[in-house]
Structure 1
Amino acid sequence: MSVLNKALAASLAAATAFTSVAALAEEEVNVYSYRQPFLIDPFLNEFSAETGIEVNVIFGNQGLTERLKREGRNSPADVMLTVDVGRLQDLVDAGVTQSIEDEVIESNIPEQYFGENNQWVGLTSRARVFYTSVERMEPGEIESYEDLADPRFEGRICSRQGDHPYNIALIASMIAEHGDEFTKQWLEGFKANLARKPQGGDRAQIKAIRDGLCDIALGNSYYYGKMLANEEQRAWAQASRIEFPNQEGRGTHVNISGMALAKHSPNEENAYKLMRFLTEETAQSMYAEINFEYPLNPEVEPSETVASWGEFKADDVPLAEIAALRRRATELVHEVAFNE
């Protein structure tokens, strides 16, 4: 081979190697996640094993929306994962999302769990339930969220702060059902029935039942599974039972974990592959087993633990409507000084 031909061959080999490396580098997808790594790593690892696409995750308790805004068109983010319809809507309001248009995703997840213009999609749900004392209350003694304002429960209820996103979503659902005036009066009655100033997280309210401080608490359903799996907290859970409110009416309020597609996704094809995977059986089942949440794909059953709590009727108000009422819900919390 002549010197010229050798040089040409070397050049072609180098070009081929560069193209291969570039192609491999493109086989990735970047996730910004408010969800803790131990909750999402198992199914992201499974996605990589099935597709060969590397998933790079940036985790943050807060500030990811602001980061996306700062990064603008240069953002590496492809998919955002978070909990609570409020955080999903915050991403939309910040202008960092785009519509998710995909027949597979739309066939896997019911319509009510899509944001306006498909700007976000739910993945799993959690019910906002009552935890009631096994020792001091009979099953069914409290039946509805409206009953939280009933004077017969004065001094018997524990709650986290009213303006926490979990409670704001519930209050927004009350506005959707009853309107402003009723909801404000209900909040005043709810506050009057509190056993103590709102404080702590959902688990703290359930512990308060075990400690005899109150008989009724609001909490997300998945905490029950988490506490039963925790040696220290198992006794807290066992002192309470889960009850699903409003089963004779509109149904129990549910909130979601969900996903959004980044506005300037640099790996959009892979982003869609990941988002489809997250709505399909493997990931939905893993979500259910790991975090005791309800799969939103109706073809996937909840975990054995979650199923043991019984079936319930869920409120079917579109969560996009709940998201739109969050601001007014927050205003009402402050108007009645719920946290004071």
Structure 2
Amino acid sequence: MSARAYFLAVMALTLPIGQAQAADEVVVYSSRIDELIKPVFDAYTRQTGVAIQFITDKEAPLMQRIKAEGEHATADLLLTVDAGNLWQAEQMGILQPIRSALIDANIPAQYRAESHAWTGLSLRARTIAYASDRVKPAELSTYEALAGPEWEGRLCLRTAKKVYNQSLTATLIETHGAEQTERILKGWVDNLSTDVFSDDIAVL
């Protein structure tokens, strides 16, 4: 099954079966920008005849909106990025569990919440961008290695306030433990060439 076909199937399964079959439209709150997500919604409508009404915004405002709407929330599906946001949405109590043989068959268990509150649809590649005129590819290996003294004064990082770096830190803790992760993070900070940046574009 293609990623697009699977995504469309998940969208149909976010509604109770009877409601999904009778629904004239599905309401999606999405943190993905229109240009990226609208083609998928249009394909879903062509295949099913069900219209997609969607609202796009940053993750935090969307989740707060769902929480404020409470039992009157109109969203059938929250589409966001990064497991950190999904975890936060679950902690806020704004998600409902979904049990689906289709999801279980296509998405490995490590990419789904044990509570069945959410499921991943794609994986994020955490790449290392480097200046090709100053860094040789052979010098690069892992994020952990960037804490080494040979990188002193050579690193640029995005702020730790962003969920992407928080998720990366959580992965390091899961892999190496809290103490070693703290040493890695301290090494990154010690190796910074400038203050941290607010977003990826600013870093590049």
**Structures share fold, TM-score greater than 0.5:** yes
Identity across matched positions, percent: 38
Shift in Å, 1:185: 1.7
Where does structure 1 differ by over 4 angstroms across 4 or more consecutive aligned residues? none
Alignment correspondent of 1:290: none
Aligned counterparts of 1:26 and 1:201: Cα–Cα separation in 2: 39
Aligned counterparts of 1:140 and 1:166: Cα–Cα separation in 2: 26
Aligned counterparts of 1:118 and 1:140: Cα–Cα separation in 2: 42
Q: Which amino acid letter does the alignment assign opposite residue 67 of structure 2?
A: K
Shift in Å, 1:25: 8.4
Aligned counterparts of 2:165 and 2:55: Cα–Cα separation in 1: 27
Are 2:83 and 1:91 aligned?
A: no
Unaligned ranges ≥5, structure 1: 1-23, 207-340
Aligned counterparts of 2:23 and 2:137: Cα–Cα separation in 1: 56
Alignment correspondent of 1:57: 54
What are the superposed Cα offsets for residues 15-62 of structure 1, whole Å, 9 maximum, x if unpaired?
xxxxxxxxx983111111111111110010110011110111122224
Alignment correspondent of 2:142: 144
Q: Which amino acid letter does the alignment assign opposite residue 178 of structure 1?
A: H
Q: Which amino acid letter does the alignment assign opposite residue 74 of structure 1?
A: H
Alignment TM-score, normalising by the size of structure 1: 0.52
Aligned counterparts of 1:148 and 1:138: Cα–Cα separation in 2: 14
Partner residue of 1:41 out of 38, 43, 60: 38
Alignment correspondent of 1:163: 161
Aligned counterparts of 1:26 and 1:46: Cα–Cα separation in 2: 17
Shift in Å, 1:161: 0.8
Query: In structure 2, the residue corresponding to 1:140 is in which secondary structure?
Result: helix
TM-align CA RMSD: 1.6
Alignment correspondent of 1:110: 108
Shift in Å, 1:188: 1.2
Aligned counterparts of 2:172 and 2:42: Cα–Cα separation in 1: 39
Aligned counterparts of 1:187 and 1:82: Cα–Cα separation in 2: 27
Q: How does 1:1-340 map to 2 (within 5 A)?
A: 26-61=23-58, 62-206=60-204
Aligned counterparts of 2:175 and 2:124: Cα–Cα separation in 1: 19
Distance 1:112 1:25, change over 3 A: closer
Q: Which amino acid letter does the alignment assign opposite residue 118 of structure 2?
A: W
Unaligned ranges ≥5, structure 2: 1-20
* Structure with the higher fraction of residues in strand conformation: 1
Aligned counterparts of 1:137 and 1:32: Cα–Cα separation in 2: 41
Aligned counterparts of 2:57 and 2:22: Cα–Cα separation in 1: 24
What are the superposed Cα offsets for residues 141-181 of structure 1, whole Å, 9 maximum, x if unpaired?
02111111101110111111123111111111111111111
Aligned counterparts of 1:166 and 1:65: Cα–Cα separation in 2: 17
Instruction: Identify the structure with bigger relative contact order (alpha carbons < 8 Å, sequence gap 6+).
Output: 1
The number of residues matched between the two structures is 183
Aligned counterparts of 2:36 and 2:119: Cα–Cα separation in 1: 18
Q: Which amino acid letter does the alignment assign opposite residue 26 of structure 2?
A: V
